[in-house]
């Protein structure tokens, strides 16, 4: 048998997140790589999970998600965006946002179709497109600001284009799409048979007074989009693996056809607990901009200057670290040096490109205790100082 010889994803290895977390652990490094908090979650959620299990919510949940949870999600969407969604026909609970993305892609794209994604693209997108039998067209966001080049998108559109994958707030670029970006996208695909899959898992993490521009709030895009969200991010508990997809009823029907044979239904006690949590804490997510902006500022105050530059993240719980002043381009090499010489794990951006350009930044996760951020900043600053001196 030669499974490798017939691999459906011959060029895919273990994700950069897993690789970096493993190595950080082996080397005892501070892990600012893979995106997950290192602080305690709200004890209320812990209590509600235990209560849900004690109360017997331990058998299969309904395939599309617990009705009470979907109702609370609809209320949450109404509070966030002032929009009404039908929990019966437009909201589906999934195994993390990743499953919503995967199932959504399988539902919409197939052999002969093209799917457009923007580099740096989150690593789960293209494999899902290829497993669907479709072709992924990767278009670069324009560095160093990582903005869309809409002329390039227009030129890439064809009769075969079936799906466009967008992501805002953007992982790993830490930028946000503007309402003008969404308007331009809507105009470009008007009258064409193209669906939009919008990864909005960092919806609540936008800074400096910005407001998240959701495809759901765009009247045209809303009618042709699957928007994907994540409780793992919003509740500081990435291990929950509970997300949801919001889409018009006809698209939701297709999503659920795949979802029911992919994961069938999602952890019942966790869904019950999150539904209860949203009842107890109706403003969930509202405190995240201030919470993460303070972390961003803490890290920037400790690190910006002295050879390192931290262009303020517009959104997400990440922050880019620009090392152009102290080292040659090469983010993979620099991340390796940070890990082995500074004792800090980060994520290079190259793995998110089909054809990586020379890059001079790595991604740091700021969803960490202040003490973790301070300790990492100390190590990074000392390393930058050594490099700058060696270069001088």
Strand 361-365, strand 347-348: pairing:
antiparallel
Q: What are phi and psi of 305, to 5 degrees?
A: 100, 180
Q: Which is nearer to ligand GLN, 17 or 291 (CB)?
A: 17
Identify the residue among 80, 103, 168, 171 touching ligand GLN (CB under 6 A): 171
Least distance CB 182 / ligand GLN (angstroms): 23
For 225, the 3-state DSSP assignment is: strand
Continuous segment of H or E residues that includes residue 322: strand 318-322
For 291, the 3-state DSSP assignment is: helix
Asked if 225 and 216 count as a contact pair (C-beta separation under 8 A), the reply is: yes
Residue 17 binds to ligand GLN (criterion: CB under 6 A): yes
Residue 319 binds to ligand GLN (criterion: CB under 6 A): no
In this chain, which stretch among 11-19, 129-137, 204-212, 384-392 interacts with ligand GLN, using CB under 6 A?
11-19
CB atoms within 10 A of CB 87: 21
| Cα–Cα nearest to 366, from 305, 332, 320, 311 | 320
**Torsion sign over Cα 364, 366, 371, 377:** positive
Least distance CB 20 / ligand GLN (angstroms): 9
In this chain, which stretch among 15-23, 81-89, 262-270, 335-343 interacts with ligand GLN, using CB under 6 A?
15-23
Q: Which is nearer to ligand GLN, 20 or 221 (CB)?
A: 20
Looking up tokens 């100390």 gives 378
Least distance CB 15 / ligand GLN (angstroms): 5
Residue 243 binds to ligand GLN (criterion: CB under 6 A): no
Least distance CB 34 / ligand GLN (angstroms): 5
What's the CA angle centered on 241, arms 266 and 16, to 5 degrees?
140
Q: Which is nearer to ligand GLN, 35 or 104 (CB)?
A: 35
In angstroms, the CA 64 to CA 264 distance is: 8
Residue 127 binds to ligand GLN (criterion: CB under 6 A): no
Compose the 27-66 pattern: x for residues touching ligand GLN by CB under 6 A, - for all others: -------xx-------------------------------
In angstroms, the CA 261 to CA 47 distance is: 31
Residue 15 binds to ligand GLN (criterion: CB under 6 A): yes
Binding site for ligand GLN (CB under 6 A): 15, 17-18, 34-35, 171
């Amino acid at each position: 048998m030669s499974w490798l010889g017939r691999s459906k994803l011959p060029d895919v290895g273990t994700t950069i997140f897993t690789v970096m977390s493993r190595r950080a652990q082996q080397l005892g490094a501070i892990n600012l790589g893979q995106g997950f908090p290192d602080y305690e979650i709200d004890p209320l959620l812990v209590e509600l999970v235990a209560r849900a299990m004690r109360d017997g919510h331990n058998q299969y949940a309904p395939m599309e998600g617990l009705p009470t949870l979907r109702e609370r999600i609809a209320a949450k969407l109404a509070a966030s965006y002032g929009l009404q969604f039908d929990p019966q026909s437009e909201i589906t609970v999934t195994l993390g946002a990743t499953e919503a993305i995967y199932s959504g892609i399988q539902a919409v794209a197939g052999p002969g179709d093209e799917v457009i994604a923007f580099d740096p693209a989150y690593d789960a997108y293209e494999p899902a497109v290829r497993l669907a039998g479709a072709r992924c067209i990767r278009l670069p966001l324009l560095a160093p600001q990582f903005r869309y080049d809409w002329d390039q998108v227009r030129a890439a559109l064809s009769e075969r284009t079936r799906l466009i994958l967008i992501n805002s707030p953007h992982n790993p670029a830490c930028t946000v799409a503007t309402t003008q970006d969404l308007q331009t996208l809507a105009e470009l695909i008007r009258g064409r048979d193209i669906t939009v899959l919008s990864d909005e898992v960092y919806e609540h993490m936008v800074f400096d007074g910005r407001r998240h521009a959701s495809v759901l709030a765009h009247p045209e895009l809303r009618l042709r989009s699957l928007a994907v969200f994540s409780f793992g991010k919003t509740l500081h508990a990435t291990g929950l693996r509970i997300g949801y997809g919001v889409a018009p009823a006809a698209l939701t029907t297709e999503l659920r056809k795949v979802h029911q044979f992919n994961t069938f239904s999602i952890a019942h006690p966790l869904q019950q607990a999150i539904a209860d949590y949203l009842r107890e804490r109706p403003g969930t997510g509202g405190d995240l901009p201030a919470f993460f902006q303070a972390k961003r500022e803490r890290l920037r105050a400790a690190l910006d200057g002295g050879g390192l530059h931290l262009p303020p993240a517009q959104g997400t719980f990440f922050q880019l670290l620009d090392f152009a002043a102290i080292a040659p381009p090469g983010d993979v090499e620099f991340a390796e040096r940070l890990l082995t010489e500074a004792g800090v794990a980060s994520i290079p951006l190259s793995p998110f490109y089909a054809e990586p350009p020379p890059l001079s930044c790595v991604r740091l996760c700021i969803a960490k205790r202040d003490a973790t951020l301070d300790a990492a900043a100390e190590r990074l600053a000392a390393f930058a100082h050594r490099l700058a001196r060696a270069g001088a």
